[in-house]
Amino acid sequence: MSAKPPVVVDDMLVEDAAPGKSQAAKPAKRKRIIIAGAAAALLIGGGGGAYAFLGGAEKAEAKAGHEEAEAESHDSKDSGGHGGEAGETFVDVPAMVVNLRSPDGGARFIKLHFMLVPGPKGNAESLKEKLPLLLDSYQPFLRELRPEDLAGSAAVFRIKEEMLLRATDTLGAGQVKDVLIQDLIQQ
C-alpha cells in the first residue's frame, strides 16, 4: 500500500483523510468547541459582573439609608427636639375618595389616606380642630387631578408638596411640618 500524502484544508493539516468523510469535520468541531468556550466565558463573566453590580448597588443604598437616618436624628437634636422625638404625634386623616377629572368623561376615582405632622407652631389638637377647613382646601386640588397626573414616580412627591403648600396657606406657616401619604389608590 502506498502512503497517502497529507491533505491541507482551511489552513489545517489533515493527516489521514478517509474517503467518504468530510474533510471539514475537524475544523467544524474545533469551531464548535471555541464557540462553546466563548459562550461559557461570557456567561460566567456576565453573571459575576451582574452579581458585583447589583450587590454593590444594594450596599450603596443601605449605606446611604444609614447615613440619611443618622443625619435626620442629628437634625432633630439640633432643632430643639421637634423632628425625631419618640413621643411625636401625627394627625391621622380619614381616607378621602374624590372623583378625578377624566378627558373621556368616564368615572375615575382616587382614594387618598394621609397623615399630618404638626410643625413647630402647631400641635395635634389644633390640627384636628382645623381639619375640616384643611380638607375643604384639598378638595378642589384633588378634583382637578387627571389620571395622567398620577403617573410616574414623581406623582406622589408633587401631590405631597401641593398638599403641604395648601396646608401652609390655609392654616398658617409652621402649623404643618409634613404630609405623609399612606395610601394613594387610583381607580
Summarize pLDDT for 6-27 with one digit per residue, the tens: 655 555 555 555 555 555 566 7
pLDDT tens, residue by residue, 88-112: 789 999 999 998 877 777 888 889 9
pTM of the model: 0.52
At what angle are helices 131-143 and 155-171 packed, to 10 degrees? 140
Give yes or no for a contact between 175 and 167, defined as CB atoms under 8 angstroms apart: yes
Terminal-residue alpha carbon distance, the chain: 89
Round to whole Å and give the CA distance between 150 and 160: 12
pLDDT recorded at residue 40: 76
Q: Domain extents for the chain?
A: 1-86, 91-186
- Provide the β-strand partners of residue 118: 176
Q: 96: Cβ–Cβ under 8 A, 6 or more apart, which residues?
A: 111, 112, 113, 135, 138, 142
Round to whole Å and give the CA distance between 5 and 82: 95
pLDDT recorded at residue 133: 94
Query: Among 3-17, 74-88, 127-141, 173-187, which is the least confidently predicted range?
Result: 74-88
Q: 20: Cβ–Cβ under 8 A, 6 or more apart, which residues?
A: none
pLDDT above 70: residue 114: yes
Residue whose entry in the numeric block shows the C-alpha cell 447589583: 54
* CATH classification for the domain delimited by 91-186, as one of 3.40.390, 1.10.10, 3.30.70, 3.30.479: 3.30.479
Helix/strand/coil (H, E, C) string of 69-92?
A: HHHHHHHHHHCCCCCCCCCCCCEE
Give the closest residue to 103 by CA, choosing from 141, 146, 142, 143: 146
Give yes or no for a contact between 147 and 109, defined as CB atoms under 8 angstroms apart: no
Round to whole Å and give the CA distance between 126 and 111: 25
pLDDT recorded at residue 34: 85
